[in-house]
Chains A and B, each alone.
Chain A
Amino acid sequence: MIGQETIEEVLGTALAGGAELAEIFAEDVRRGSVNLDDGRIESLASGRDRGVGVRVISGGATGFAHTADLSRRSLLSAARAAADAVTGSAGSTAAAIERVETTPGPVAIAPGDIPKATKVELLRQAEEVARSADPAITQVSARYAESRRRILVANSDGVLAGDDQTRTLFSVSCVASGDAGLQTGHETVGLSVGFEIFDRYDVEKLANEAAQRALTKLQARPAPSGTLPVVIGPGSGGVLFHEACGHGLEADLVAKGASAFANRLGEQVASPIVTLIDDATMAEEWGRYAIDDEGSPGRRNVLIEDGILVDYLWDGIRARQEGRPSSGNGRRQSYRHLPMVRMTNTYLAGGESDPADIIASVDHGVYVARLGGGQVNTASGDFVFGMVEAYLIEGGKITAPLREGQLIGNGPKVLREIEAIGNDFAMGPPGTCGKDGQGVPVGDGVPTLKVAELTIGGTAS
């Protein structure tokens, strides 16, 4: 995207004000999507974003400027703007740039090489299957989306690295209509691979599952209200640990006292059966990358091991302040954003229990087959999550389906109250994690697990 000579000139200009570190982040993203709704291919959309952000660090201060204009003149002007934003007297000069070799995730079939007509056909197929599942299915929508993001990072420490990230996503949503009103069912799959995602997942099966989910909810009764034991099924429950625990382990929040896990390294923070990992190297997963957006290689980081808090997640700035290496978790939404500490693929490692035994151990409780989106206050650890698909557990058996309701609790408390972990680990659907207004792709997963008690916010009186 930018020649090495220009990179060196821009870094030199950015350091001229006396800063310690200068960095160039260049990005070129192409996106494509097709939407089917209301019985019709509504629109195909294409998007293109390319630009450069120049970051200058001096002490605790960061100067940043970005531009969509890739000319040398514009890059130098961004470098001066970033340098002007901070004052420094480090007198650093840029080290000789050395290219770091990286291996982007393999893409067998580039989505851009597949005709748009083929993508349209997949959506039609999904719609047909979902509609024919039952006359009660009154609405179907489906979406296909692909993106290819190429990045280049160079800094005055001499790092020069690039990555090429392809992601492909497919989703189906259904509305079923019955005596209980309208109920919805969704199914989404997404991987850091190309069009070969459709060798892994069958579109017709996804469509049918979305339809069945909506149909099941037509029979659902209002969720109970109150505090109950909760069994969370494999896969989608990972979002709970991402939100309610992972964010509290981000070094920037820890440093500002905005985390329930601050000053607790080496302590028992979770039930001894809990091991929590963040892993940017998980092949094909949604949060995978070869390098983070600061040029550090993606890594597998164990955060909690057998209940003991082992480490936090780090980006370059926080790691520099602590005199330790980055954990490869410096990410940004685009060249227009500053990097900060972010998760990648976050999961609770598999345990030893048979999932059937876990369910059988609950006399009266709730089984959450699918958790939806949620929100967490990282400082207090309090969270709220939607139950997208849930059932009553009565006498150790899964019984009646429940309408949507919220699960509410406290992250650190849940970690301590995990009583059993199953041997059926699975990753959940692809997610977008939001923090301070920036969204980045993340994955998460869990095996079946049992929490002693959580508050269910249902509407049953």
Chain B
Amino acid sequence: MKPEDLLTLARSVVAQAADGEEIEVACSFGTSRNIRVYEGEVESLTTADNSGIGVRVLADGREGFASAGSLDPDVVAEMLSEARDNATFAESDPFVGIARPDGVEPVDIELWHSGVSTTPTKDKVAMAVELERRVRAHDPRISGIRVAGYGDNEGSFALVSTAGIEAASEASSASISVQALAVDGDRTQTGFAYDGARQPQDLDLDQVVERAVSQAVDLIGATKPATASVDLVLDPRMAATVIGLIAGTLTGDRVIKGRSPFVDRVGEQIGAKMLSFVDDATDPASLGADSHDGEGLACRRVPLVLDGVLQGFLHDSYTGRRAGGGSTGSAVRGTRGLPTPGLHALAVAPGQGSLEELISRSELGVLVFSLAGLHSGVNPVSGDFSVGVEGRMIRNGELAEPVGEFTVGSTLQRLMLDISAIGDDLRHLPSGVSTPSIVIADVALSGTSA
């Protein structure tokens, strides 16, 4: 189904709105392919159609929602009636409601690239086989591959509401991933890497091979380091994870409910002076770019931190109304859930120096390969931060021994203030985050007792 077909379907549901009732319908349809290979052969090949619909109904300030994984007329009708029924049990809230058009013009961004449909399946299989072969061949210490695969999808999305909002889009994406294994005595080390793009032609196989292999073999012989205070050196991928966690606490729902460590701190210095980041889905270079948010409003540039000073928060129409400033076009959603404010395309402003230069400036640090336990170890309400790390020690500006089985601890608040360097190696990552390498000083490493 094309975006126009979805618009037609969504309009037909919205047209059933009763007097005083508001309806918003989001629907999607897509096709996907997933290929997994093992030892040069296809292990599994999945082809599928995916559809979804989410119906939001508002009456008297009460909201009800229903969603389904089918666009069949009987299911769509059932969802409208369920959403209506659900609304009658919710409690009234004067700020609840669907988004109102706010006059901001959407930027035109091409999210669909032809490569996904023009590339034959056998070439996609070949890419996954090639990825696996190259990882195995790259280093004799690679003892196996747990997963090597290729996936892509193409889909349409449409959103229509009784407030007069109509938005539709078409997008494509492709990705490759691999997890390499390296035997290390009676242990096994792993290296995971992936890349994502809007079509298979834009995937960077070389970089994925290099990263998966080096992460696995560079960890061979990893030991638990001694407890110390260290520099945490984060390459763009790891920096994206950490900055993403921090920026994730700057959403309107957390703020209005008092569940962010940064509530009431707009205008204050919450980070190092060198730190600036925005959420900017209008930047076509970002893989998180989009023309519309999850409520059909135009995406826009939302400054979050400038020179270390907190500028504001991410809002959807509900939290925006409650906070008083309106939506920042930051609603995120699938068709299966209600919109919430979130990040589209977080971008950290680059500083100076390559990752190598940042490493050379650290006396005692850890170059981070992976972070574990982010869900259990980061409390977005209190800001407490304690996560497991694997990586390489940095001693006197040089990469030293591999280390693992230890944690680093701090708080999200302190991590922001303790940023001591930002590189110039900006990368646009598949997650939608764009960031250079970042160094955080004086982080407590908890390992073996000294």
A459/B181 contact (C-beta < 8 A), A40-B91, A139-B259, A373-B375 known: no
A44–B406 CB distance below 8 A: no
Within 8 A of A (CB), among B343-385: 372-377, 379, 381-384
A37/B336 contact (C-beta < 8 A), A257-B143, A385-B376 known: no
A227–B147 CB distance below 8 A: no
CA distance in complex: A89, B47 (Å): 22
A116/B382 contact (C-beta < 8 A), A379-B190, A382-B388 known: no
**Which of B58-66, B110-118, B198-206, B268-276 forms part of the interface with chain A?**
B58-66
B146–A256 CB distance below 8 A: yes
Our pick among B47, B181, B386 for the contact of A85 (Cβ within 8 Å) is B47
Size of the A side of the interface (Cβ < 8 Å), in residues, is: 80
A46–B83 CB distance below 8 A: yes
Size of the B side of the interface (Cβ < 8 Å), in residues, is: 84
B444–A47 CB distance below 8 A: no
Contacts of A105 in B (CB 8 A): none
**Which of A66-74, A188-196, A204-212, A421-429 forms part of the interface with chain B?**
A66-74
Our pick among A47, A67, A385 for the contact of B48 (Cβ within 8 Å) is A67
Nearest-CB distance from A243 to chain B (Å)? Answer: 10
Contacts of A227 in B (CB 8 A): 448-449
CA distance in complex: A226, B44 (Å): 44
Within 8 A of A (CB), among B401-450: 404-411, 444, 446-449
Residue of B nearest to A183 (CB): B382
Across the A-B interface, how many residue pairs have beta carbons closer than 8 Å? 264
Nearest-CB distance from B97 to chain A (Å)? Answer: 13
Contacts of A60 in B (CB 8 A): 38, 41, 43
B174-186, CB under 8 A of A: which get 1 and which 0? 0000010101000
A86–B376 CB distance below 8 A: no
Kindly state whether residue A165 has any CB partner on chain B within 8 Å: no
Residue of A nearest to B449 (CB): A226
Nearest-CB distance from A111 to chain B (Å)? Answer: 15
A408/B45 contact (C-beta < 8 A), A116-B85, A260-B188 known: no
Residue of A nearest to B147 (CB): A436
Our pick among A59, A65, A405 for the contact of B409 (Cβ within 8 Å) is A405
CA distance in complex: A5, B210 (Å): 52
Residue of B nearest to A116 (CB): B89
Contacts of B377 in A (CB 8 A): 384, 386, 404, 406, 457
Within 8 A of B (CB), among A360-392: 372-375, 377, 379-386, 388
Kindly state whether residue A234 has any CB partner on chain B within 8 Å: no
B446–A375 CB distance below 8 A: no
CA distance in complex: A184, B378 (Å): 12
Contacts of B38 in A (CB 8 A): 60, 256
Contacts of B285 in A (CB 8 A): none
A406/B376 contact (C-beta < 8 A), A67-B48, A457-B386, A457-B408 known: yes
A47–B68 CB distance below 8 A: yes
Kindly state whether residue A97 has any CB partner on chain B within 8 Å: no
Kindly state whether residue A61 has any CB partner on chain B within 8 Å: yes
Our pick among B145, B187, B384, B406 for the contact of A455 (Cβ within 8 Å) is B406
Kindly state whether residue B119 has any CB partner on chain A within 8 Å: no
Kindly state whether residue B245 has any CB partner on chain A within 8 Å: no
**Which of B12-20, B69-77, B152-160, B304-312 forms part of the interface with chain A?**
B69-77
Nearest-CB distance from B82 to chain A (Å)? Answer: 4
Our pick among B50, B144, B406 for the contact of A256 (Cβ within 8 Å) is B144
Within 8 A of B (CB), among A161-220: 175, 177, 181-184
Contacts of A258 in B (CB 8 A): 144, 146, 179, 181, 188, 190
Contacts of A409 in B (CB 8 A): 405
Within 8 A of B (CB), among A385-416: 385-386, 388, 403-406, 408-410
Kindly state whether residue A45 has any CB partner on chain B within 8 Å: yes
A406–B384 CB distance below 8 A: no
Our pick among B45, B93, B376, B410 for the contact of A459 (Cβ within 8 Å) is B410
CA distance in complex: A175, B254 (Å): 12
CA distance in complex: A300, B425 (Å): 53
B407–A51 CB distance below 8 A: no
CA distance in complex: A67, B71 (Å): 12
Kindly state whether residue B138 has any CB partner on chain A within 8 Å: no
Within 8 A of B (CB), among A271-289: none
Kindly state whether residue A50 has any CB partner on chain B within 8 Å: yes
A139/B376 contact (C-beta < 8 A), A43-B65, A256-B146, A436-B147 known: no
Kindly state whether residue A48 has any CB partner on chain B within 8 Å: yes
Contacts of A379 in B (CB 8 A): 146, 181, 188-190
Contacts of B444 in A (CB 8 A): 225, 459, 461
- Cβ contacts A to B, 9 pairs, < 8 Å: A46-B67, A47-B67, A60-B41, A225-B407, A225-B409, A226-B446, A257-B146, A372-B376, A408-B407
The chain A residues found within 8 Å of chain B, CB to CB, are 34, 37-38, 40-51, 59-69, 81-82, 85-86, 116-117, 120, 138-139, 175, 177, 181-184, 223, 225-227, 253, 256-258, 260, 336, 338, 372-375, 377, 379-386, 388, 403-406, 408-410, 436, 455-459, 461
**Given contact pairs A45-B338, A225-B407, a sample of 8 additional A-B residue pairs in the complex whose CB atoms are under 8 Å apart:** A50-B69, A60-B41, A85-B42, A182-B259, A258-B190, A374-B376, A375-B376, A458-B386
